[in-house]
Amino acid sequence: MTTRVSRRTLFAFLGPSVMALLLVGIVPLGYAVWKSFYYFNLPKLGQSRFLGLDNYTPVITSSTFWAAMGRTALLFVFSVPVQIALGLTIALALHRPGLTFFKTLTRLALVLPMATTYAVVGLLAQVMLNQKYGVINQMLGWFGVDAINFIGDPLNAFIGVVIWDIWQWTPFVALVLLAGLSTVPTEIEEAALLETKSNWTVLRFVQLPFLIPSLVAVLILRTADTLKLFDMPFTMTRGGPGNATEFIAVLIERIGNRQFDIGLAAAHSIIMLAITIGLARLYINLFYKEMR
């Protein structure tokens, strides 16, 4: 149920929020679009000049941009399926009745990784993955595995980021899928289990259809968050060694903050923003039907 109200009332309620978000969200974007057409480098402001689309051409054609995008995609491809597999296992375990005390405890524990300051997660990775002093290598040693140089070797550093991403976001995936499981009507689930006596059949034919929305939500949000991922790889490796863990957000930060090329960083940002808006539209069209 909704009411029609006067323009003045409407403005009184919505005006402040809209103005605030215009100020902090849209004005900087406008500025970014404007600067993206210029050569605009902080220490060389005297050389600023109009470039038109010339900041965009190197972005599209440069190997650094596509390499960073490729790494971001690879991170997604390696970590998200694992997060879904582990998350589903956890969700199914929590969904079974009984053992209430342990399950409440587990749910509380699951909340911790995703709330943890992302920068601290990166620092923890540094400490725990260290070749000499790291506890992870000590544990690997118990199983006869030689100490791995996680931070110093390009491939291993990438694997380290994947492992840490899995640690932080598997609980999130588990809780989203658990919410999905709770939408399955209990009678149907129990009847199917009595009928087939197979947990697998119940999962495949009864629970999975109800899980599709949660899975889609997980895929879209993980894509958006992987594109945004900055804090954890930045504190863990600074994008290195070389640029082995330079994901797209880390690359843009380097161009803007360490090369001072604001114009080029802006061009990168605008391209990333376009991808982001596409994702957001997809998510909104799928999940906010009641608003349309």
Partner 1 sequence: MATSHAGRIRWGEVVLLIAICAFCIFPFYWMVTTSLKTQVVALQSPPAWIFTPTLQNYIDVLFEDKVGASLINSLIVAVSTTVLAVTLGCPAAYALARFEFRGKTDLWFWFITNRFVSPVVLAFPVFMIARELGLRDTHIALILMYLTFTLPIVIWICTDQFRSIPYDLDEAALLEGASQWRIFRSICLPLATPGVAVSAILSFIFSWNELLFAYILAPKNAKTAPAMAVTFMEGYSVPYGKIMATSTLIVIPVLIFALLASKHLVRGLTMGAVK
Site for partner 1, residues 242 to 271, rule: CB under 8 A: 249, 252-253, 256-257, 262, 265-266, 269-270
Single out the segment in contact with partner 1 by CB under 8 A; choices: 72-80, 154-162, 176-184, 204-212.
176-184
Instruction: Choose which of 154, 224, 240, 241 interacts with partner 1 (CB under 8 A).
Output: 224
Site for partner 1 in 7-26 (CB under 8 A): 9-10, 12-14, 16-18, 20-21, 23-25
Residue 40 makes CB contacts below 8 A (sequence gap 6+) with 48, 261, 262, 263, 266
Max Cα-Cα span within the chain: 78
187 part of the interface to partner 1, by CB under 8 A: no
Min dist. Cβ of residue 203 to partner 1 (A): 14
Q: Which is nearer to partner 1, 162 or 252 (CB)?
A: 252
Min dist. Cβ of residue 117 to partner 1 (A): 4
Secondary structure (DSSP) of 145-205: PPP--TTTSHHHHHHHHHHHHHHHHHHHHHHHHHHHHTTS-HHHHHHHHHHH--HHHIIII
Return d(Cα 161, Cα 54) in angstroms, integer: 34
| Residue 49-88 contact track with partner 1, rule CB under 8 A, x = bound | ----------------------------------------
Single out the segment in contact with partner 1 by CB under 8 A; choices: 46-54, 57-65, 75-83, 220-228.
220-228
Q: State the number of binding residues for partner 1 (CB under 8 A).
A: 102
Instruction: Choose which of 120, 145, 155, 188 interacts with partner 1 (CB under 8 A).
Output: 120
Return d(Cα 249, Cα 193) in angstroms, integer: 46
181 part of the interface to partner 1, by CB under 8 A: no
Characterize the bridge pairing of strands 38-39 and 49-50. antiparallel
Return d(Cα 236, Cα 84) in angstroms, integer: 24
Q: Which is nearer to partner 1, 59 or 249 (CB)?
A: 249
Helical (H) or strand (E) element with 79: helix 63-95
Return d(Cα 188, Cα 202) in angstroms, integer: 10
Distances (CA, A) of 148 to 40, 79, 155, 238: 42, 20, 11, 19
47 part of the interface to partner 1, by CB under 8 A: no
289 part of the interface to partner 1, by CB under 8 A: no
Contact in structure between 178 and 195 (CB atoms under 8 Å): no
32 part of the interface to partner 1, by CB under 8 A: yes
214 part of the interface to partner 1, by CB under 8 A: yes
| Residue 131-160 contact track with partner 1, rule CB under 8 A, x = bound | -xxxx--x--x-------------------
